[in-house]
Amino acid sequence: MTENKRQFRAIKGTRDILPPDSALWNWFEQTARNTFESYNFREIRLPIFEETELFARSVGADTDIVSKEMFTFNIGHDAESKEEPSQTYSLRPEATASVVRSYIEHRMQTFPGNLKLYYVGPMFRRERPQKGRYRQFYQIGAEVLGQSDAAAIDAEVIEMLMTFFKRADLTRTTLYINSIGDKNCRPQYVEKLREELRKVADRIGPDSQRRIETNPLRVLDSKLPEEQAIIGKLPRISDHLCDECREHFAKLKEELRLRGIAYEENWRLVRGLDYYTRTTFEVIAEGLGSQNAVCGGGRYDGLVELLGGPPTKGIGFAIGTDRAILSLQESGKLPSLPALAVFVAWMGQAAYLTAVNIAQKLREAGLAVELPPEEMKFKRSLALADKLGARYALIIGEDEVNSGTFTLKRLADSDQKKLSKFDLLEYLESERRDTRA
C-alpha cells in the first residue's frame, strides 16, 4: 500500500483570511456595524442556503447569477423526512432574497416604522476566480423595507454607505447613481432600446446580440471598447422616465446635495439583478483593476409582492468586503489595530506563579498578553517578544518576585522602567489611553 501524502488545499475561488489580515477584516466589519447602528439599522442573521426557487424568482432566472453562477444541490432522499427528493437548494449568491423571504415569513410588515436591517457574511457564486472575484466572497449589506418610497430613504441609505466608507478611510471612491424607471415607464424604454439595438445588431458582439432579445438593458453595461461608440448613441432612460420616476430621481439628487454627498450620474448603470426599480447606485474604488465595484445597490419596490408578500417598498445595497479590503490595502492607509501589548518574560519556577497572576490581571484589564508556557532563557524570551511585535516585555525573575518590583521594557526603544505590581497596571492603562487618543 502506498502512503497517501496528498496535501489538501482550499478550493479554487475560496481562501483563508489569516492574521493579521483577519484583524483588519474584523475592524472593517465592526466599523460597518457601528455606523449602521448609528442610523438605527439592526442586524439580521440569515441561513446561507435557501430553496433554489427563491433566487430564481427574485434575482431572476435569466440573470448570469441564477443561470450559471449558483452552487445548487439536493439533499437526497431520506425515508424519514417529508422533504421532496427533488427539492433543490442553493448556497446564497446574495442576501436580499433571504431578507425578503424572512420579512414575509415573520410578517415584519407589522413591525413599527420602516424596517432597517443589515447583514454580514459569505456569499457564493461559481464565477471564474481572479483578483477581486472569488467563489466564496463576503458582503456587508443593508435593506430598508416598508410602506414609504420617499427619496429621503434612498438618500439616507446612500449617506450611511458613504459615511461608513469615510470612517473606514476608504475615500478614493466614486458614487454613481441612476434611475432605471419602474413598471410604468421601463417596459416602453426597453422596447425602444431593443428597436435601436436591432438596427445596429451586425456591429455588436455576440453577447450583446443575444441580450437584444433577452435583456437589452444589460447591453449598456458592456465594457467592450468596440461597442462604446454605438452604445453612446443609444436612447437614454433619463429621457424616457415617467413623471413620478423623474420627480423621484430629482428629489434624490436634491436630498444627496443637502446631505453633502458627492455623486456622478451614470445613465448606463443598470445592475444585473432583475428586481431593481428606480434608484440604482454603485461605488467604485481605486486600486482594483477591472473588478473595481465595491458596492452595488438600488430600489426593489415590487420584490416583496413578487415573493408572495404584501405590497411593500424596498431599497438596499451590498458591499463587497473582499474588494473593499483589497482597496484599503492598496492605499496603504491601514488603521493601527490593537496588537500584543505585553510579553511576560518569566524565569525560574519561583517566578511562575507571579507571572500567571500578573498575566491574568493585565488580561482582565483588556490588554493582550503572551505568557510563555515553558521557561525560556532570557535572551530567547526577549527575541521572541520582539518577533511577536510586543510593545513591552515584562521581566519577572526571582529577584523581582522578592522585591515586588518588575522591569517593564519598551521594545521599540529599550526604555526601561521599574514598577510595582500596582503601578504597572496603572502605567499600562494610561499609556494605552494615550496611544488610542
**Contacts to ligand ATP from residues 65-124, by CB under 6 A:** 94
Minimal CB distance to ligand ATP: which residue? 320
Nearer to ligand ATP, 132 or 216 (CB): 132
Q: Does 133 bind ligand ATP (CB under 6 A)?
A: yes
Residue found under cell 496603504 = 332
Determine if 32 is a binding residue for ligand ATP (CB under 6 A): no
CA nearest 157: which of 167, 147, 169, 145? 145
Interatomic CA distance for residues 255 and 52, integer angstroms: 38
Region from 235-243, 292-300, 372-380, 420-428 binding ligand ATP, contact rule CB under 6 A: 292-300
Piece in contact with ligand ATP (CB under 6 A), picked from 198-206, 255-263, 290-298, 375-383: 290-298
Q: How many residues of this chain interact with ligand ATP, rule: CB under 6 A? A: 18
Q: Which stretch binds ligand ATP (CB under 6 A): 130-138, 155-163, 331-339, 393-401?
A: 130-138
208 vs 381 by CB, closer to ligand ATP: 208
Nearest to 320, CA basis, from 294, 281, 288: 294
User: DSSP of 274-332, one letter per residue?
Assistant: TT-EEEEEEEEESS-TT--EEEEEEE-TTHHHHTT--S-EEEEEEEEHHHHHHHHHHHT
Is residue 397 within 8 A of residue 344, CB to CB? The reply is no
Contact between 315 and 300 (Cβ < 8 Å): yes
Distances (CA, A) of 233 to 49, 61, 195, 266: 42, 30, 13, 14
For residue 356, the minimal CB distance to ligand ATP (Å) is 45
109, 163, 266, 291: which one binds ligand ATP (CB under 6 A): 291
Between 134 and 343, whose beta carbon lies closer to ligand ATP? 134
List strands edge to edge, sheet with 342-346.
369-370, 342-346, 392-396, 405-410, 416-420
175-204: contacts with ligand ATP (CB under 6 A): none
- Write down the number of H helices and E strands in the chain: 15, 16
Q: How far is the CB of 175 from ligand ATP (least distance, A)?
A: 12
Distance between CA atoms of residues 326 and 434, nearest Å: 30
Tell me if 295 contacts ligand ATP by CB under 6 A.
Answer: yes
Q: How far is the CB of 141 from ligand ATP (least distance, A)?
A: 8
Residue 129, classed as helix, strand or coil, is: coil
Within residues 302-331, the interface with ligand ATP by CB under 6 A covers 318, 320, 322-323
* Cβ 127 to ligand ATP shortest distance, Å: 5
Residues in CB range of 154: below 8 A, 6 or more apart = 252, 255, 279, 299, 315
What is the nearest approach in angstroms of ligand ATP to the Cβ of residue 88?
A: 21
Q: CB nearer to ligand ATP: give 294 or 394.
A: 294
Binding of residue 29 to ligand ATP (CB under 6 A): no
Cβ nearer to ligand ATP, comparing 59 with 256? 59
Q: Record the cell numbers describing residue 395, joined without a space.
A: 521581566
- Choosing from 296, 302, 316, 397, the residue that interacts with ligand ATP (CB under 6 A) is 296
Asked if 174 is part of the footprint of ligand ATP (rule: CB under 6 A), the reply reads no
Whole-angstrom distance, CA of residue 304 vs CA of residue 112: 17
**Residue type, position 315, single letter:** I
48, 150, 293, 365: which one contacts ligand ATP (CB under 6 A)?
293
Contact in structure between 123 and 138 (CB atoms under 8 Å): yes
Nearer to ligand ATP, 133 or 236 (CB): 133
Range 38-67, binding ligand ATP (CB under 6 A): none
Residues 6+ apart with CB under 8 A from 7: none
The answer to whether 272 contacts ligand ATP (rule: CB under 6 A) is: yes
CB-wise, 270 or 428, nearer to ligand ATP? 270
Among 134, 276, 343, 392, binds ligand ATP (CB under 6 A): 134
Distance CA 42, CA 380 (A): 48
Single out the residue of 31, 35, 52, 139 in contact with ligand ATP (rule: CB under 6 A): 139
Cell of 339: 496588537
Contact between 127 and ligand ATP by CB under 6 A: the answer reads yes
By beta-carbon proximity to ligand ATP, the closer residue of 318 and 355 is: 318
Residues that bind ligand ATP (CB under 6 A): 94, 125, 127, 132-134, 137, 139, 272, 291, 293-296, 318, 320, 322-323
